[in-house]
Chains A and B, each alone.
Chain A
């Protein structure tokens, strides 16, 4: 178990393309950090650099206090879970779990003890003598996890481990990974493009975009105070409504509070921050036409066209709605829930 520290980490490919533009990140011992971002943002590359599968062009990565830039993956004492599991197809499940331990010269009885313990934890004991191709997707996923935990490494690295599973299984495994990581207390770095997965798993979330870190923080912090337009749009589903301040000002009977910081030209409004009806005094009242209603069970997503605004306004309404499509709706936005942004810098004010 160990802390991981990245400082000034850059990656440039031989062709000259730079994919990581200087990353500073400190991951505490036992912490679960999730790297999230759209595809091509560099999150997988960064993870592979921590693993030692990609070289580091500039900067240092240290694990447990020691700089590991020049170390082979095996010498970094990390374990990795791959998207396609990368189980050795010709070995049994037991063989897969043992391989890393054997290569390290772990004594036989110790190997057996660890493999059996991992098999118990992950409930794969009945399959130990099967080949990977005889297992279901979920079982393979467990074996891949098992291969990581038997090693008792300093850190776990997860590279989108759940994206090959169907939605239901993904939900289950997500909970299990979280439980396992908590009970083992092993430092973990987890890469995903699924923001729901990211929110639910992370102690701390790292949102990446174009080889930069956009924001680091607890999932709720990022949700409540997105530091940039990018994070605001990326975290939360349905996404935040980002509206041009000028257009709101131009709406009849609407005024924005003076408390908004100077330079605010975009305001963000969370779909679930909206109050149905006229709202309280001081709220910003809006009226629009319901274009589409998505009932998702306990709540409904309303897509509302407000005359004068460019985009469709998304609202999360709690409970069943009595509204109908093409009908009119009144709603209000509490001033305190506005997120002020500057367009040119892309940052929160």
Chain B
């Protein structure tokens, strides 16, 4: 539409620039803080321009950590976060693909019951059933393990629904052609359905990777052994040193490192990210 309102155009960009500043500024400040020395946070105001200690701070956090705060070197926590996020994302996708496949491509007694049991998980976020779930995991001896960190988070109604929706849009004839071509249920799933679901799987992976990475309460509860700390919960320990002000330069170096992987995923896979987000939430 041809519309010539220069004032409105200026206003539009102004709004967007202010919006971007609001969104970016807290992180900018964190980045600046992570480049300074410990002594720079005593005076009245946080520094607003970069300091000279960037490599030193990040290097120390990655390789040594702060032992007084009970936090191991950051690279260990980053690895843990990566492992956990990948297990959660892959696990959720795998079991959701299978259950959606069963629900759409088979008829069997108790099909509706199964569907509703999966549906109910939507209504029970971990924050809500925290204590009894913790008790179950503790009784199973899964505290301080990758299994305990990931398995209880792996059921997914939204992923199952997404795949169900997608499977229903796959033409009936494709499955019929495959059956005529001699493919049984397993072969059809592997040779036809899975390759067709690629984009959906990738989009969902982006969302679920982020979901796994930002988990906080659950890792906080089930890990006491610092070998299993994730970076997100480790940061909280860094920031919460009891007696004094935290060492902001180190905390913020850790914050930057903890944010980087999922943020990069969003930025570089923006198309998949948007698809995943908008489609899972329908």
Across the interface, do B187 and A78 meet the contact criterion of CB distance under 8 Å? no
Given A82-B176, A82-B177, check contact A74 B182 (CB 8 Å): yes
Closest CB-CB distance, B35 to chain A, in whole Å? Answer: 48
Across the interface, do A53 and B183 meet the contact criterion of CB distance under 8 Å? no
| Stretch of A96-104, A233-241, A259-267, A318-326 lying at the B interface | A96-104
Closest CB-CB distance, B190 to chain A, in whole Å? Answer: 12
Binding site secondary structure of chain B: helix
Which residue of the partner chain A has the closest CB to B187? A103
Across the interface, do A78 and B180 meet the contact criterion of CB distance under 8 Å? yes
Asked if A210 is an interface residue, CB under 8 A from chain B, the answer is no
Residues in B neighbouring A86, C-beta threshold 8 A:
171, 173-174, 176-177
Closest CB-CB distance, A53 to chain B, in whole Å? Answer: 5
| Stretch of B61-69, B126-134, B191-199, B215-223 lying at the A interface | B191-199
Residues in A neighbouring B174, C-beta threshold 8 A:
86, 88
Across the interface, do B176 and A73 meet the contact criterion of CB distance under 8 Å? yes
Once the chains are docked, how many angstroms separate the CA of A103 from the CA of B180? 10
Closest CB-CB distance, A59 to chain B, in whole Å? Answer: 22
Residues in B neighbouring A88, C-beta threshold 8 A:
174, 177-178, 191-192
Interface-central residue, A51, A103, A151, by most chain B CB under 10 Å: A103
Residues in B neighbouring A78, C-beta threshold 8 A:
180
Binding site secondary structure of chain A: loop
Which residues 161-183 of B sit at the A interface, judged by CB distance below 8 A?
Answer: 171, 173-174, 176-183
Across the interface, do B176 and A53 meet the contact criterion of CB distance under 8 Å? yes
Given A73-B176, A80-B177, check contact A89 B182 (CB 8 Å): no
Which residue of the partner chain B has the closest CB to A103? B182
Which residue of the partner chain A has the closest CB to B194? A90
Once the chains are docked, how many angstroms separate the CA of A151 from the CA of B196? 24
Across the interface, do B180 and A51 meet the contact criterion of CB distance under 8 Å? yes
Once the chains are docked, how many angstroms separate the CA of A306 from the CA of B177? 53
The interface bits of chain A over 56-92 (1 if a CB of B lies within 8 angstroms of the residue's CB, else 0) are 0000000000000000111000111011111111100
Across the interface, do A89 and B179 meet the contact criterion of CB distance under 8 Å? no
Which residue of the partner chain A has the closest CB to B177? A86
Per the CB 8 Å criterion, the residue count for chain B at the interface is 18
Closest CB-CB distance, A266 to chain B, in whole Å? Answer: 41
Which residues 104-122 of A sit at the B interface, judged by CB distance below 8 A?
Answer: 104
Once the chains are docked, how many angstroms separate the CA of A249 from the CA of B14? 90
Which residues 22-66 of A sit at the B interface, judged by CB distance below 8 A?
Answer: 48, 51-53
Residues in B neighbouring A89, C-beta threshold 8 A:
196
Which residue of the partner chain B has the closest CB to A90? B195
Which residue of the partner chain B has the closest CB to A157? B180
Which residue of the partner chain B has the closest CB to A14? B107
Lowest 7 A-B CB distances belong to which pairs?
A100-B181, A103-B182, A86-B173, A74-B182, A86-B177, A90-B195, A82-B173
Identify 28 residue pairs between A and B in the complex whose beta-carbon atoms are under 8 Å apart, listed by A's number.
Answer: A48-B176, A52-B179, A52-B180, A53-B180, A72-B179, A72-B184, A73-B180, A74-B183, A78-B180, A79-B180, A80-B176, A82-B176, A83-B173, A85-B173, A86-B171, A86-B173, A86-B174, A86-B176, A88-B177, A88-B192, A90-B192, A90-B196, A99-B183, A99-B191, A100-B180, A103-B182, A103-B183, A151-B181
Known pairs A74-B182, A86-B177. 6 more at Cβ < 8 A?
A: A52-B179, A53-B176, A86-B171, A86-B176, A90-B195, A90-B196
